[in-house]
Amino acid sequence: MDTTNNRVNGFNPEDITATINALKENPALASFEWRAHNKWINGGHNRSTIQGFYGGGKEDTSREKPFIVDNAEPPILLGNNEGPNPVEFILHGLAGCMTTTMVLHAAAHRIPIDSVETKLTGDWDAQGFLGLDPTVRNGYKQIHIDFKIEGDLTDEQKEQLISFAKKSPVYDIVTHGVPVEVGMQEPEAVV
């Protein structure tokens, strides 16, 4: 539990309130555009570069260096393990977002948490992806999430923490789907 300098779970509740009030006064500040650039390396290996984004009414320049993230496939899926595979990154993103959302909302409600651990498993059938069975979905059939939350918490607070976790943007993306527009960018002309 972090309550140093009026902090709860690593957040200052007054900062959370100030941010919420600023967004209420100017809802345009709440609009964000996240970006990633991906380049294929070889086989199932590709690399994403993530750095700039738009948020809070301006282009963000806080990241001096880009995050470089490799993803690939294990040998059973014809890869060489250069990184986790993309469906594993979905689990990582979901766990990270739900945890951060939970502890942020808990801090706003002044509910201190000692620790949070999450176990996620995703059930996936390669037959859909490979086109072997049209009745099998390409993506996860189901994702299981189990939280282990420690702290001096009542049963009611634990239920409240789970409801906070379900406010996660990635949880919303995974459970409700997002329209995805796919297009083609023309290669740059060589002069």
Number of separate domains in the chain: 2
Q: Which residues, in sequence order, are CB contacts of 125 under 8 Å at separation 6+?
A: 133, 136, 137, 141
Residue in the structure block whose two tokens are 């409700």: 176
Query: Residues 90, 170: one domain?
Result: yes
Query: Residues 79, 108: one domain?
Result: no
pTM over 0.85: yes
Domain residue limits at 54: 31-83
Q: Considering the domain boundaries, does residue 119 fall inside one?
A: yes
Query: Residues 36, 102: one domain?
Result: no
Query: For the chain, how many helices (H) and strands (E)?
Result: 5, 7
Last residue of a domain, one of 40, 66, 83: 83
Query: Residues 76, 96: one domain?
Result: no
Last residue of a domain, one of 41, 56, 83: 83
Query: Residues 71, 153: one domain?
Result: no
Q: Is the dihedral of CA 184, 176, 108, 4 positive or negative?
A: negative
Q: What is the pLDDT along the chain (191 residues), one digit of tens a residue?
A: 444 468 889 889 989 999 999 999 999 999 999 999 999 999 999 999 999 999 999 999 999 999 999 999 999 999 999 999 999 999 999 999 999 999 999 999 999 999 999 999 999 999 999 999 999 999 999 999 999 999 999 999 999 999 999 999 999 999 998 999 999 988 887 77
